[in-house]
Structure 1
C-alpha cells in the first residue's frame, strides 16, 4: 500500500463491519489493496480484530483500523497487532491532531509508548532502531476530517509532521453543516476539495469514500486512497436482490 501511494497510484479499500475473519479473507481474495476494520461504530474486541487482520494478511492484503476515541492504547494496540495504519475519527483541531501524532509515532516525531514485543516488532526479534524507523515511516497515521470545526485548523493540521493522510468523511461532515446524509451539498463538496488541496500542499496523502461511478473523478482530484464499498452493503444488496427476484415469480 505504501509503495502504491509513493508511486501516485490508487489504493483500493473495502470497509468491514462484520467482526470475523471471513469477510476480510473474501475481500483479500478478490484483490483489494486494503481492508478497513471499524472499531468506532462496531462492537468488535481486539481479539476479533486480530483474527480478521490475520485473515486479510494471509492473502497479502493490508489492514487499516479505525479506532475508537479515548485512551491512548486505542491508538497503539492496532499498530502493535501489525496494522498498516490507524484511522482516527473526528479530529477537530490542530491540538487534537498533535495528540494523535504524539501517541502513534515514536521519537523524534512523537512519544508512542515503546514495547516491541508484539507482531509489529517481530516479538522483540526486530532490533529497536529498525523497529522505530519502520514504524514511523511505514505505519500510516490517518486522521479523519469530518466536522466543520476542523476546517479552521486544516492547513496547520495538514502541515503537522507525523500526519500521513487526511481522510475526508462526507457523511458526518454533511451532518455538521446541517444537511445529514446529503453528501452532495455545496458546503460538503467544497470541504472535500479543501481537504485534498491541503494534503497536496503539504505532501500528504488524501483519502475519502467513493464508488466505481466516481473513483476516477476522485483520483483526478488528488485522492489516492478510496474506500469503495462495505461488506454489509454487499450482503444486503445480494440478499435483497434474491428475495426481490423470487417475489416477482408470484409463488
Structure 2
C-alpha cells in the first residue's frame, strides 16, 4: 500500500485557495455530513473541544471516503500529543500558540522522525495502515503538512522568523486570541486587529509562505483573501447550527 497523498499540502504548494470549515463536535456523524458539503478541508479542533485521539480516529474514518482534507489541531505544542495524532492517521496538523522560531522548530521536530526530529517510531499504527504502507518511516514527512498558529502580538513580532523555519508549510492567524492580546477580547474584527493580520498575510505572501485564517466576519475573510490568504476557514459547525436554528425559530414567532 502506498503512502496516502496529502492533497491539501499539494494545493498550498501550488498556491491554490483552500476553503475550509472549523469543527468542534466530537461526533463522527456530524463530520461525515460536513465532509460531503464541498469544503476543501475541515479542521477538527482538540484544543477547544472534548475531543482526543480516540475521537479523532473516528472523525478521520468518517471523512476518509470524501474528497476533503482533515486538519487536526492539538491542544498544545506538545510532542506526545502530536505523536498520538500523527499515529492516529492525521497528516495535517495546526499547532496553536507558536510564539517564536524556537517553538516553530520544536513543532517541526515533533512531526519528524529521527535523526532530524524526535517523533517516536511505531510500525503498526493507523498512520502506517497497520504496517501496510511500505517505507512509511522514510517517507512520512513527504505528506505531513505542518501549520503553525500565530495568535499574540509577540508572535506577530516574530512572524518572519517563524515562517522561515524549515519544515513549516503554512502560518495561520487566530483573530480571537490576537484580539485579546491586543487588549480587545471578544472583538476579533477590531480595526487594529484586522490591520495587523492583513499586514501579516501580506508579509507571508512576499515570502511565498501560505497564510490561513478563521473568521465569522465574511468581509474580513474577503479582505484576507485579497491580501493573499490561501487557506481560509469560513465558518464554525456550532455557529452554523445555532444561526440556522435561531433563524428557523424566528420564522415562527
So what's the TM-score if we normalise by structure 1?
0.89
User: What residue ranges of structure 2 are gaps of 5+ in the alignment?
Assistant: 1-7
* Secondary structure, aligned partner of 2:223: helix
Unaligned runs of 5+ in 1: none
Offset of residue 166 of structure 1? 0.4
Match of 1:80 in 2: 87
Q: Deviations over 1:217-238 (max 9, x none)?
A: 3222111100011111111111
- Contact 1:19/1:44 (<8 A) preserved: yes
Instruction: State the partner residue of 1:3.
Output: 10
Query: How much does 1:108 deviate?
Result: 5.8
**Conserved 8 A contact 1:86-1:140:** yes
Compute the RMSD of aligned alpha carbons.
2.0
Aligned residues: 245
2:252 pairs, out of 226, 239, 246, with 246
Whether the 8 Å contact between 1:158 and 1:198 is mirrored in structure 2 is: no
TM-score normalised per structure 2: 0.88
Contact 1:17 1:38 in 2 (8 A): yes
Greater helix fraction, Structure 1 or Structure 2: 1
Larger mean CA deviation between 166-175 and 150-159 belongs to 150-159
Matched-pair contact (CA < 8 Å) for 1:35–1:56: no
Please tell me whether the aligned partners of residues 158 and 204 of structure 1 are also in contact (alpha carbons under 8 angstroms): yes
Change in CA separation of 1:75 and 1:194 when aligned onto 2, cut-off 3 Å: farther
Could you tell me which residue of structure 2 aligns to residue 94 of structure 1?
101
CA deviation profile, 1:59-102 (whole Å, cap 9, x unmatched) = 23211111012642211222222223111111122222121111
Once the two structures are TM-superposed, the CA of residue 159 in structure 1 deviates from its matched residue by 0.3
Q: Contact 1:168 / 1:208 at 8 angstroms: preserved in 2?
A: yes
Q: Which moved more, 1:47-56 or 1:4-13?
A: 4-13
Instruction: Tell me the SS of whatever aligns to 1:41.
Output: coil
Instruction: Tell me whether 1:116 sits opposite 2:123 in the alignment.
Output: yes
Matched, 1:140 2:163: no
Kept after mapping to 2: 8 A contact 1:105/1:162: no
- Compared CA separation, residues 59 and 109, structure 1 to 2 (3 A): same
Partner of residue 185, structure 2: 180
Aligned-residue offset at 1:35: 0.8
* 1:222 to 1:238, Cα distance in 2 relative to 1, 3 A: same
Q: 1:11 Cα deviation (Å)?
A: 0.6
Query: Which range moves more in the overlay, 226-235 or 237-246?
Result: 237-246
Structure 1: which 4+ aligned runs deviate by more than 6 Å?
Answer: none
Q: Find the residue that maps to 1:121 and give its secondary structure.
A: coil
